[in-house]
Chains A and B, each alone.
Chain A
Amino acid sequence: MKPLSNVLGLLAAIGLGGLISTASAQDGYPDRPISVAACYPAGGGVDRNLRMVERVAAKYLGQSLLPQYRTGGSGTVAMQYIKDAEPNGYELAICDNGGAIIAPIAQGLDLDADDFTPIVQVSFVPWIMTTRASSPYDSVDAFIEAAKASESPIAIEISDIATSDHYGWLLLLKEAGLSPDKFKWNPHGGGGPKMRAIIAGEGDFLFDDAGEISGYVDNGTLRPLAVASSSRLPQFPDVPTMRELGYDVIAGSSVAMYAPPGLSDDKVEALQAAMREIKQDPALLKAFELTLQDPDTFIVDEFEAMWRKDWSNAAELLKAALGG
């Protein structure tokens, strides 16, 4: 008889488990924490923006955001994940234009604008070409000249293959008339690990944003060479734009949040309503100021149109950058 009572106990326990978990069925959305898949590892711009939103989100959403790291594949692992996730409003992804648009195209993945529900662009930051302060290169021209003269390839640290910083480099090299094959591209898997390699002295060159480099510029570790935006940045008034130097390069990282395709309109609206309020939150604005981001690039309503336009232009842009 003993084994029978063991089995009965087991069944009772499973029944109990089922009862408890179905009892928590939802009424108002959201009624439990929303997990957000970050497409790059801890450290770096995507992680930073996620943190900034996450810190204030609970106040407006009524539930907290739970950052999860689904890294790899130049950011496409998180995007693939969210494309296939249940559109229940409890799964979101955060990634930049590199992982969301450029890498899927470069990798030939079967993705396009309709495979996601765009929610919000949290920020757009222009790239700043940066080198270690101890390196002999003090200008973009010095770097270009050295690359032209050099026999062996010059190493460049990038987040990953076909990420938005890699893309920025390709645009610059095209403008300078240099082949990407003359360089050694070191992919690190994300902005955090990329910066680590620079700080540890393993590499010399990177594209990163003002928020990531400013601390290291202040303490004399890094030296900014040029900004890939249309005008100089207020926090680095002495750093020229690439256009001023004769290279027509505008490039940066657009960090945005996405939901799975088919998320119901009322849930999209609930999320976007919260985002509109988050945009006005004093704590978020303070965080934008500290990380040298422009609060005007926090865009809710026009983001979907921007997202579609970026996708329709992307293939062409990428081809142009690769020179093919």
Chain B
Amino acid sequence: MIEDLLVAATVVFNWQTLAAISAGTIVGLMIGAIPGLSATMGMALLSPFTFFVGPLVGIPFLIGLFKGGTFGGSISAILIGTPGTAANAATLLDGYEMRKKGKAGVAMMGALNASLVGDVFGTVALIFGAPALALIAIQFGPHEFFALVLFSLTMVCYVSGRSLAKGVMAASLGVFFALIGTDPIGGTPRLSFGLRELQGGLNVIALVTGLFGITEVLIQMESYGRRRKLATSVIAVELAGVGTQLRSISKHLWTIVRSSLVGTFIGALPGIGSETSPWVAYGLAKRASKTPERFGKGTLAGVVAPEAANNAVCAAAMIPMLVFGIPGDIVTAILMSALIAQGLQPGPYLIAEHRDVIFGLFMSVLFATVALYIFGRLTMRWWIRVLTIPRPLLYSVVVAFCVVGTYSVKSSSFDLAVMFVFGVIGYVMRKLDIAIAPLLLSFVLAKILEESLRRGLVQSDGSLLAFFERPITAGILTLTALLLLTFAVLTWRRYRSGRIERSQD
């Protein structure tokens, strides 16, 4: 184990991998810092370009981007009160208040330090948790996979939007789009309308860039004229000194550690991750605080809690993806498709047969943690300026990346059409306030869902009972049912009390 890591360290310690991690982190910080550009979108845009370099260059680049983007989002949350990514929405509550009090520098450094601690927790959980879980993954047959995917989809439906019904709607659409292609059991084409391009199924990269790239551009184009100019007065910010930082860390150490643990745990569950954990961590920090009344009025505890949690998610979310091939959120779904494009199929076999690559990945996650701290500290001032880039310029570049990236995968203009169609679908969904995440995740998971259900049924002679006779399957299915029940009750209560919107908003 330790030996594997040391071997991996020597493999990863070459200039290409280190440069890839650094570049990923810097790009991530920039993308995260710009409101409207999220780490998810950055990964969707840039992942096609990683297919043409080796796995230990391309994947570390994406990991750096993920971590950088998750932290970078806190910069705009604090400075202009607009979270760079959904993961930083909780950060703005106290972060923006702190800036109003002239303590933006303290808040930003606090966020960076908390991210570092969260990162370390998540990474340690990944390095020790994934190989351990892989040992029991051998017990996972089709029945277990079916239950696990169902569980993830239930989670993602609930947490990613305001309405469970809309979440289910989006997830069903995702399953529908995944059905297009070829029947995984019989091998016959279906829903392809005789089009050769459709027989291989829709290209996931075209879907991702459409839903996250093009959709965002459309939304931004529409709102551009109506939005006020960004305040440019934010540029003068004094960063906190080392002494102040150490004092603030030690003061909030327990909050940071607790939030890191929360982030790690939530991240490791398939189906929920970076968008949920900051709120949970924020809520817990507030409840545990001796001065809860200061939350929302600019306390540093309200900044470090969500930031530690969302960065802890980054590494922990890779656990279910690597071990079972079941991504917990969109970002890990994109990471997974990048791994598959490299010929590395996540699942129990990956850890057993490609130990070198897996431990190389673990080491790059560790290096990315260090890179985030170094580059986060060094370049913080740049990103403050990035906030003033003119939108039309920015989104033109985004479209260029969408087009080139999608086209480069298979040189298929059909894929470009798919991308634009899904850009429009995503736009309509956003307008109707339907979350996009369940659609994409269920699209990715539908193949496992269908194949495991049908194979499970074949093995048990068509009897659904087999799903409840196997202990692991029965356990996960029961948990899923309980969750659904809880969600239903919560929704009903909210409806009764007249508060349709979630308390977080």
Q: Does B139 contact A (CB under 8 A)?
A: yes
- A196 and B138 in contact, given A17-B403, A67-B343, A69-B340 (Cβ under 8 angstroms): yes
Q: Does A252 contact B (CB under 8 A)?
A: no
**Closest-CB distance, A73 to chain B (whole angstroms):** 2
Residues of A within 8 A of B349 (CB): 42-43, 192
Select A14's contact among B141, B343, B403, beta carbons within 8 Å. Answer: B403
**Closest-CB distance, A248 to chain B (whole angstroms):** 31
* A20 B404 Cβ-Cβ under 8 A: yes
Q: How many residues of B contact A (CB 8 A)?
A: 50
CB-CB nearest in chain A for B137: A196
Within the assembled complex, what's the spacing in Å between the Cα atoms of A67 and B340?
Answer: 8
CB-CB nearest in chain A for B460: A186
Select B183's contact among A70, A73, A103, beta carbons within 8 Å. Answer: A73
For chain B, residues 74 to 109, give those with C-beta under 8 angstroms from any C-beta of chain A: none
Residues of A within 8 A of B399 (CB): 9-10, 13-14, 17
> B187, B225, B402: which has the most chain A beta carbons within 10 Å?
B187
* B187 A103 Cβ-Cβ under 8 A: yes
- A109 and B187 in contact, given A9-B396, A14-B400 (Cβ under 8 angstroms): yes
Q: How many residues of A contact B (CB 8 A)?
A: 50
Within the assembled complex, what's the spacing in Å between the Cα atoms of A93 and B182?
Answer: 16
- A41 and B342 in contact, given A21-B407, A74-B187 (Cβ under 8 angstroms): no
Select B187's contact among A5, A67, A73, beta carbons within 8 Å. Answer: A73
Select A73's contact among B185, B224, B350, beta carbons within 8 Å. Answer: B185
Within the assembled complex, what's the spacing in Å between the Cα atoms of A109 and B187?
Answer: 9
Residues of B within 8 A of A9 (CB): 392-393, 395-396, 399
Instruction: Say whether chain A's binding surface is mostly helix, strand, loop, or mixed.
Output: helix
* A43 B225 Cβ-Cβ under 8 A: no
CB-CB nearest in chain B for A41: B345
* B411 A21 Cβ-Cβ under 8 A: yes
* A18 B403 Cβ-Cβ under 8 A: yes
Within the assembled complex, what's the spacing in Å between the Cα atoms of A20 and B402?
Answer: 13
Residues of A within 8 A of B224 (CB): 2, 6
Residues of A within 8 A of B185 (CB): 72-73
**Closest-CB distance, B220 to chain A (whole angstroms):** 9
**Closest-CB distance, A95 to chain B (whole angstroms):** 12
Report, nearest first, the 8 A-B pairs whose CB atoms are least far apart: A73-B187, A67-B343, A17-B403, A72-B184, A76-B187, A9-B396, A13-B399, A42-B345
Q: List residues of chain B with CB under 8 Å of any chain A CB.
A: 51-52, 138-139, 141-142, 182-189, 196, 199-200, 217, 221, 224-225, 340-343, 345, 347-350, 353, 392-393, 395-400, 402-404, 407-408, 411, 451, 455, 458-459, 461
Sample 5 A-B pairs with CB under 8 A, ordered by A number.
Answer: A9-B395, A21-B403, A75-B187, A80-B189, A193-B141
